[in-house]
Structure 1
Amino acid sequence: MRSEIVVPLTIRDLTEADLPECGWSGSRLHLEHVARQLARVPLGEAEYLAACASRSGLPVGKGLIDYRANPEAGTIGQLAVHPALQSCGIGSALVLAAEERIRARGLRHAELGVEVDNPRAQALYERLGYAAYGKAPESWDEEAPDGSIRRYETTCVLMRKPLTT
């Protein structure tokens, strides 16, 4: 027997008060980076979205829109959905909400990068209308389970989608 449960979802601005509830999205080091991105929001350089279960208000997904990376596009990044809720449409809802925010700024394109070894995410972005236009190296510091910090290096497929008004 298969049953379906529908949980209403709200997309809103992520706040610093949400960070303790976002441990599912990454390590302490990652959440410190998210906090630094949130500090850019009042400057108009970025927006950070939270997908929340409507009844609890708790974030179950998040995503950044960076307006400094490319002045002609909004760059979507740091997308994450709670592992227990992946493949339920939350990532798609976040991307579509981010596109609306980018469009409201008068920008004509949304961009993002996806690691080459993440074909599932790349397929999602392609279904949402993104097309690959190149590759670029990417790196960041990450926290290992033992608390040590290491440099993570990867290659990302760069993707872009034109946004219509």
Structure 2
Amino acid sequence: MGTIHTGVVTMPLTVRDMTEADLPELACFYSRFYLEKMPAELERARTGVVDHLVVCTPAGVPVGKGAINWDEIPGAGVISTLSVRVELRSVGIGTVLIRAAEERIRARGLSRAEIGAEENNPRARALYERLGYVAYGCEPASWDQEDSDGTVRKYETTCTLLRKDL
């Protein structure tokens, strides 16, 4: 029987604006339906309404993605659509992404960040609270989502709303 070796690998990550060239790499953790909407979202980013960020390995491969909406809540940047590759969750990539988003929000002269956590995602809420976000309410939310068979349906949920003074 062979010996099992374990260890820790430290890797520098960068956060940058997402580009069209990133879309093939994002296909591993977003549905085709979502990716088809991304060119229009990148056009919105060019108009300054939203920023789409990716967290990348030293080779430039995106391993996390998120957005900041600038026109949703006056005086705040709203962090949304956070996702990290499944096999790389719980190693700090989400924290890197949120902190980079907060820096962008401060750079815009805003002093508050807002984020929502689906009530059926306690791990996300725990991360946000660990980073200093405080719940202040909840609201229903819905969006179109593609099922595994390709059917698009309306997904409905309830989100806890959290905010953080920057």
CA–CA distance in structure 1, aligned partners of residues 76 and 36 of structure 2: 25
Moved beyond 6 Å, runs of 4+: none
- Report deviation, 1:109: 0.3
Equivalent AA in structure 2 for residue 7 of structure 1:
M
- Report deviation, 1:58: 0.8
**Which residue number in structure 2 is paired with residue 24 of structure 1?**
28
CA–CA distance in structure 2, aligned partners of residues 75 and 117 of structure 1: 20
- Report deviation, 1:42: 1.4
**Which residue number in structure 1 is paired with residue 7 of structure 2?**
3
Contact 1:11 1:52 survives alignment (8 Å): yes
Identity among equivalent pairs (%):
54
Contact 1:51 1:94 survives alignment (8 Å): yes
**Which residue number in structure 2 is paired with residue 157 of structure 1?**
160
- Report deviation, 1:8: 1.6
Within-5 A mapping of 1:24-43: 24-43=28-47
CA–CA distance in structure 2, aligned partners of residues 6 and 52 of structure 1: 14
Aligned residue pairs, count: 162
The superposition leaves residues 48-76 of structure 1 with CA deviations (integer Å, 9 ceiling, x where unpaired) of: 1110001x201000100000111210000
- Report deviation, 1:25: 2.4
Q: Bigger shift: 131-140 or 26-35?
A: 26-35
Q: Bigger shift: 142-151 or 124-133?
A: 142-151
CA–CA distance in structure 1, aligned partners of residues 39 and 63 of structure 2: 17
Contact 1:140 1:151 survives alignment (8 Å): yes
Q: CA RMSD in A?
A: 1.0
**Which residue number in structure 2 is paired with residue 85 of structure 1?**
88
Structure 1 unaligned blocks of 5 or more:
none
CA–CA distance in structure 2, aligned partners of residues 67 and 149 of structure 1: 28
Of 97, 101, 104, the residue aligned with 1:101 is 104
**Which residue number in structure 1 is paired with residue 19 of structure 2?**
15
SS in structure 2 of the partner of residue 25 of structure 1: coil
SS in structure 2 of the partner of residue 40 of structure 1: helix
The superposition leaves residues 78-109 of structure 1 with CA deviations (integer Å, 9 ceiling, x where unpaired) of: 00001111011000000000000000000110
Equivalent AA in structure 2 for residue 142 of structure 1:
Q
CA–CA distance in structure 2, aligned partners of residues 117 and 153 of structure 1: 11
- Report deviation, 1:30: 1.2
Structure 2 unaligned blocks of 5 or more:
none
The 1:112/1:34 distance shift into structure 2, 3 A limit, reads farther
1:53 aligns with 2:69: no
- Report deviation, 1:17: 1.3
SS in structure 1 of the partner of residue 28 of structure 2: helix
Task: Name the TM-score, length of structure 1 as normaliser.
Answer: 0.95
**Which residue number in structure 1 is paired with residue 125 of structure 2?**
122
